Amino acid sequence: MDRIRITGGNELHGIIPISGAKNAALPLMIASLLTDDTLTLENVPHLADVEQLIRILGNHGADISVNGRRERQGESYARTIHFTCRNIVDTTAPYELVSKMRASFWVIGPLLAREGRARVSLPGGCAIGTRPVDLFIEGLAALGANIEIDSGYINATAPTGGLIGARYVFPKVSVGATHVMMMAATLANGTTTIGNAAREPEVVDLANCLNAMGAKVTGAGTSTITIEGVTSLSGARHRVLPDRIETGTYAMAVAMTGGDVILEGTDASLLDTALEAIRRAGAEITPTETGIRVYRNGGGIKPVDVVTDPFPGFPTDLQAQFMGLMTRSNGVSHITETIFENRFMHVQELARLGARITLSGQTAKIEGVPRLKGAPVMATDLRASVSLVIAGLVAEGDTTVSRVYHLDRGFERLEEKLTRCGAIVERVTD
Ligand code: UD1
């Protein structure tokens, strides 16, 4: 099994191209099930989660071709992928496929809207809490779906004549449930209003793509989204927005090591809150013509408290990385996780590198230390794994991160991007 070995101590200098957002690409790919026409997505990152979803969509009948011509983007490559689902050949998403990635559960929305039925396994994915599906069920039931749970599967059926537009207010903000309800409502009869909707940029990206396909979605990016149902959707061409989590991760890596890096092809407005926290920690961050410049020289890392929150708050997907950064601050910081109840598994691994962190409920207290020391550590989930890489970049000696399949789910060419900026990072295959 692959491991990543990092030899700490080097600053980062250079250019890091930012990939298309995994969390936008996945729902956009799923939206291709809503039409019998071709949906073309540009700037799709090459990640294990994307490959897994390609298999799942293929199982439902999608014909998928990856453009032979790879789109050059800085030193990285983005892919253009065409999805054509003329007929849905199977409305079941089996356990073997769904258990590997939670987002594949989201096919329930388009299948139900287009075919009137879906049988979808209850999801798996990162082990970061219980992650129930009650909000999906309540949202789809509000559109008239009949939903039963049987042997680990959700069986959903639409009323004769299709889903019916409705007003539904989510009791809690959920990105996935917002995506699913928005997709399902595009083909419903009448108008749907989603209250307390997620406001994440990836929701806006999906709404823009759905509108390019002929849907009538307004209000995405606010907490109230209105969808006027249409009878069918067409194909479209859409470019996946830049990955704000990858952007924030590399910004934190530069803040950690010191140096001067341009994050190319990204947009600071996608992650204002996180960038502000990194600035307060001591890095300079300025927008450039092609992206963002992150710079830290001389001064140490200052302690900064953060609390995760739905967008536009500090993203839970950057919590582990920020904790990695705070392990080397010159004071005491606190990080509170409010989205997932079990998202501190990186704490004990960071401790193996010499970090001093104590947990009290959902809050971690991080006492900055002057040095970390390399050690073998284990990736526990996607974002946690990259926090270990960030810490490893400044730890003395070698840090070896095992179970890197977690990293491969969400970070495209991580070793290459860091190595080009002067880090010593290599993949070791046993
Ligand atoms: C998405 C992101 C993930 C990110 C998360 C929060 C993708 C592919 N994944 O995950 O990277 O960490 O948003 O920003 O985009 N919940 C319920 N019932 C439900 C659904 C969710 O209680 O039916 C809870 C979850 O357990 C969690 C909270 O709602 O506590 C937010 O989860 P949600 O926004 O749904 O996360 P995902 O869409 O799974």
pLDDT in tens, 68-114: 544 444 444 678 999 999 999 999 999 988 888 889 999 999 999 99
Q: Taking Cα atoms as reference points, which of 375, 318, 315 lies closest to residue 349?
A: 375
Going by pLDDT thresholds of 50, 70 and 90, the confidence category of residue 314 is: very high
Going by pLDDT thresholds of 50, 70 and 90, the confidence category of residue 131 is: low
The enclosing H or E element of 246 equals helix 244-257
Cβ–Cβ contacts within 10 Å for residue 169, how many? 13
Q: With 50 as the cut, is the pLDDT of residue 125 above it? A: no
Name which residue sits closest to atom 24 of ligand 1, judged by CA.
131
- Alpha-carbon distance of 299 to 289, in angstroms, equals 26
Question: Cα(36) to centroid of ligand 1, in Å?
Answer: 29
For ligand 1, whether the C-beta of 177 sits within 6 Å is yes
Q: Residue 44 half-sphere exposure, CB side, CA atoms within 13 Å? A: 29
Share of the chain above pLDDT 70, in %: 96
Q: Scanning the structure block, which residue is given the tokens 């590198």?
A: 353
Q: Residue 166 half-sphere exposure, CB side, CA atoms within 13 Å? A: 16
Q: Taking Cα atoms as reference points, which of 232, 185, 189 lies closest to residue 206?
A: 185
pLDDT in tens, 332-372: 999 999 998 878 999 999 999 999 999 999 999 999 999 99
For ligand 1, whether the C-beta of 50 sits within 6 Å is no
Output the CA–CA distances (angstroms, integers) from residue 357 to 134, 345, 381, in the order listed: 33, 12, 19
Q: Extract the tokens encoding 24.
A: 């936008």
Sign of CA dihedral 111, 116, 118, 123: positive
Ligand 1 pocket test target in 318, 339, 382, 409 with most atoms within 8 Å of CB: 339
- Alpha-carbon distance of 174 to 166, in angstroms, equals 18
For ligand 1, whether the C-beta of 176 sits within 6 Å is yes
- Alpha-carbon distance of 118 to 281, in angstroms, equals 48
Q: Extract the tokens encoding 327.
A: 């392990």
Question: Cα(126) to centroid of ligand 1, in Å?
Answer: 11
- Which amino acid, one-letter code, is at 28? L
pLDDT in tens, 171-210: 999 999 999 999 999 999 999 999 999 999 999 999 999 9
The enclosing H or E element of 27 equals helix 22-31
- Quote the pLDDT of residue 124: 56
Backbone angles phi, psi at 300, to 5 degrees: -80, -175
Q: Scanning the structure block, which residue is given the tokens 């970390």?
A: 372
pLDDT in tens, 361-408: 999 999 999 999 999 999 888 888 899 999 999 999 999 999 888 888
Strand bridging mode 12-17 / 259-264: parallel
- Residues 270-283 have a mean pLDDT of 98
Ligand 1 pocket test target in 104, 105, 174, 309 with most atoms within 8 Å of CB: 174
Name which residue sits closest to atom 3 of ligand 1, judged by CA.
317
Name which residue sits closest to atom 7 of ligand 1, judged by CA.
23
Q: Scanning the structure block, which residue is given the tokens 């039409």?
A: 35
> Backbone dihedral region of 14: left (phi > 0), alpha (psi from -120 to 50 degrees) or beta?
left
Identified catalytic residue from 85, 126, 209, 421? 126
- Quote the pLDDT of residue 302: 97
Going by pLDDT thresholds of 50, 70 and 90, the confidence category of residue 315 is: very high
- Quote the pLDDT of residue 75: 42
- Alpha-carbon distance of 63 to 325, in angstroms, equals 43
Going by pLDDT thresholds of 50, 70 and 90, the confidence category of residue 130 is: low
Q: Extract the tokens encoding 137.
A: 């069920």
For the CA of 23, the closest atom of ligand 1 is 15
Name which residue sits closest to atom 21 of ligand 1, judged by CA.
174
- Quote the pLDDT of residue 77: 64
Q: Scanning the structure block, which residue is given the tokens 């730890």?
A: 395
- Alpha-carbon distance of 60 to 405, in angstroms, equals 26
Name the β-bridge partners of 194: 168, 225
- Which amino acid, one-letter code, is at 117? R
- Quote the pLDDT of residue 251: 98
For ligand 1, whether the C-beta of 102 sits within 6 Å is yes
Name which residue sits closest to atom 11 of ligand 1, judged by CA.
317
pTM of this prediction? Answer: 0.96
182 contacts 210 by C-beta, under 8 angstroms: yes
- Within 8 A by CB and 6+ apart from 112, the residues are 118, 140, 145, 156, 157, 158, 163, 184
Share of the chain above pLDDT 90, in %: 83
For ligand 1, whether the C-beta of 316 sits within 6 Å is yes
Average confidence score pLDDT of the chain: 93
For ligand 1, whether the C-beta of 101 sits within 6 Å is no
For ligand 1, whether the C-beta of 27 sits within 6 Å is no
Q: Let me know if 421 is a catalytic residue.
A: no
Name the β-bridge partners of 6: 399, 425
Q: Taking Cα atoms as reference points, which of 323, 425, 418, 424 lies closest to residue 366?
A: 323
For ligand 1, whether the C-beta of 106 sits within 6 Å is no
Strand ranges (E), 131-276: 146-150, 153-157, 167-169, 191-195, 216-218, 225-228, 236-239, 259-264
Question: Cα(371) to centroid of ligand 1, in Å?
Answer: 35
